[in-house]
Structure formats: C-alpha cells, structure tokens
C-alpha cells in the first residue's frame, strides 16, 4: 500500500512538473515577440481568415512557428478577426497581434483634396490611388451624376471640402467623397451662419460660388477677404465681376493656358465679362479660409485689383488707379 501511495505521489509530481514546464513554455511564448524585420511588415488579412490560417501565413513568412502555443492562445482568447491591412512593428507579441486583428486596427492612408481643384481634378487624383476602389472613371463623366446621386450630390463642382482624409485599403472613391461632401456641408453652414447680413447673397450656394472665385484668384490668406470685398461691392453696385478664372472655367478643355481677348468676349454662362452676377455654379473647391472670407469680406472702397508681379495684388478704388497699376505691371511706366 505504501509503495502504491509513493508511486501515485511520484506520478502526480511528474504531472505537476510537466504541467509547470508547459505553463513556463506557454508564458515564454506569450512574452516572445514575433521575428519581424526591423522595418516592420504590412500584413493583409483577407476576409474569412481563421486563426490557424493567420498563423500558417505568418509562419510561411518566417515571423513565427506553428505550434500548440498558438492553438492554446486562440482557445483561451477566442476572437473574430477583421479583414484589412495591418502594420506589424518589431516587438509585437502574440497576444498583441491577435488583439490588433480583432480590434480592426488597420493601416490608415491619407488622401488630400487641394484647394482650387475642380471636380475633374478630384476624380483624376482619386483614380491614381491604387489602394482605393474606383467607381468614378475620369474618361466617363456621363456616369458621374448617376453615381454621385448615391451621395445626395447633384452638380458636384465645389461641393467637396479641401482637406486631408484618412482611408483604409479597399475604401471606395465614393466613400472618400462622401466624407469630403459632409465636411463641406458643415463648413458652408458654419460660414453662412457667421456671414455679414449685408451680403448681396441669398443662399449658402451663392456663398459657395463666391468663395470658389476667391479661391482661384489668390493663394494668400491675407488677401482673401480683400478680394471678397471687391467682388461684394461689385455685386452691390450692379457691376460685372470681370474675373478671369470664371472665363477659363467656361472654356473647359479648349483653354490652352493663355486667355485672349476673344475669350473674354465669347459669351458663356461663366463669362463674368459679358454677364452680370455670379456664375451658375462654383468653379472649384474653396477651402475654409475662402468660405470665411466670402462670408465676411473686408470693408473698403476697392473695386479693382491686378497682379503686382510679386505674388500678390494691387487694389484700386477707381478705374484710373487700376489702369495705372496695370501699366506698372506691364512695364509701361
């Protein structure tokens, strides 16, 4: 009997020692980072992948080895893993890896919409992004209205706020545009709410149109409100806006980079030399600064401005002063 008890005790000690060794091995596994390269690795987790699939792929890459430790970890911490693109950095341990996949901590990419871009330029830039899913074809603008209707966008020009937007691999161009459209709606509503009530504008859309002209006329923040003031006073006085960017927009693909007198005299809905008031739509995407400038233009008496040859503009209150400024620009004085 005594021998039996001793044998049982020895067997229990053996099991305990084996269990302890297994536990120590498992803890060592949990605390050992994956064998990732110093620069890290971008791992694409495909939809429907299970834990064993993930471990097999990581092992094939040489980052770990397949073993019972992974199976135990996944049994003790069952997770649903989210497909996507993940950045794996050196020092990442097994638990952290699976929690990253379960948490959906995917790589965030960036796409910038630039102030002053037209919608055609936006579509072309999106088409060049290889990680974005493409619905809008730059070569097939006739389909754009049908696709943009899903976003609640009719005429798209000007309706997307120039900013940098985050996206994940596989997001579509329409998803990125949806975020930019909501951002523009919010920015325009804010500008309209803070507008000078004396503005000769009846709707937020007219403010958007005016802001787009300001955006195309100057890239200097300290000039935006002054230029908006010139256009506002012209509208109030019943003068034509006479701004080249609207004429250029109206010329479309026929514009060759050099605006001529015949262009200024050719009547189109966007020719503000031949027509009074604002053009029918925005001519580009205005940024926040141009929206706020159009909503609160700088007071003054200037009705004209011309490039000063130094990156800015010379502002004049009278036609005589304006002509003198033009002569100085052209070196006639």
**Predicted local confidence at residue 11, as pLDDT:** 61
Give residue-wise pLDDT tens across range 242-293.
999 999 999 988 888 888 999 999 899 999 999 999 999 999 999 999 999 9
- In this structure, are residues 180 and 161 in contact, taking their beta carbons and an 8 Å threshold? yes
List, for the chain, all residue ranges whose pLDDT scores fall below the cut of 50: none
**Predicted local confidence at residue 12, as pLDDT:** 60
Give residue-wise pLDDT tens across range 2-41.
666 655 655 666 666 566 678 889 999 999 999 999 999 9
Residue 313 CA to residue 300 CA, distance in Å, equals: 15
- In this structure, are residues 253 and 246 in contact, taking their beta carbons and an 8 Å threshold? no
**Predicted local confidence at residue 85, as pLDDT:** 95
Give residue-wise pLDDT tens across range 15-25.
665 666 788 89
| Domains identified in the chain and CATH numbers | 31-107 (3.30.1490), 109-186 (no CATH), 200-330 (no CATH)
Four-CA torsion 104, 110, 111, 115, nearest 10 degrees: 130
Residue 219 CA to residue 117 CA, distance in Å, equals: 13
**Predicted local confidence at residue 6, as pLDDT:** 59
Sequence-separated (6 or more) residues with CB below 8 Å from residue 81: 45, 49, 50, 51, 54, 98, 101, 102
- In this structure, are residues 287 and 215 in contact, taking their beta carbons and an 8 Å threshold? yes
């Amino acid at each position: 009997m005594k021998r039996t008890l001793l044998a049982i005790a020895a067997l229990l000690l053996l099991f305990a020692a084996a269990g302890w060794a297994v536990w120590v091995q498992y803890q060592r596994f949990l605390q050992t980072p994956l064998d990732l390269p110093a620069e890290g690795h971008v791992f694409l987790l495909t939809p429907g992948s299970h834990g064993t699939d993930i471990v097999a792929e990581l092992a094939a890459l040489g980052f770990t080895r397949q073993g019972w430790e992974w199976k135990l970890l996944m049994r003790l911490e069952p997770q649903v893993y989210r497909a996507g693109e993940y950045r794996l950095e050196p020092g990442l341990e097994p638990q952290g890896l699976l929690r990253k996949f379960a948490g959906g901590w995917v790589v965030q990419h960036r796409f910038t919409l630039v102030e002053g871009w037209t919608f055609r330029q936006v579509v072309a830039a999106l088409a060049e992004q290889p990680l974005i899913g493409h619905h809008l074809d730059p070569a097939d603008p006739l389909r754009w209205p049908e696709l943009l209707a899903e976003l609640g966008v009719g005429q798209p020009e000007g309706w997307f706020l120039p900013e940098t937007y985050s996206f994940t691999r596989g997001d579509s161009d329409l998803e990125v545009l949806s975020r930019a459209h909501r951002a523009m709606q919010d920015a325009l509503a804010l500008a309209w709410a803070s507008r000078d009530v004396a503005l000769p504008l009846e709707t937020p859309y007219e403010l958007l149109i005016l802001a787009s002209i300001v955006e195309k006329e100057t890239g200097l923040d300290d000039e935006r409100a002054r230029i908006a003031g010139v256009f506002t006073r012209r509208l109030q006085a019943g003068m034509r806006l006479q701004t080249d960017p609207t004429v250029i927009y109206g010329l479309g693909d026929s514009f060759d980079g050099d605006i001529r007198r015949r262009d200024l005299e050719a009547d189109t809905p966007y020719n503000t030399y031949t027509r009074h008031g604002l053009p029918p739509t925005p001519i580009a995407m205005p940024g926040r600064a141009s929206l706020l400038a159009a909503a609160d233009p700088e007071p003054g008496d200037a009705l004209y401005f011309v490039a000063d040859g130094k990156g800015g503009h010379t502002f004049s209150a009278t036609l005589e002063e304006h002509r003198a400024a033009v002569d100085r620009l052209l070196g006639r004085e």
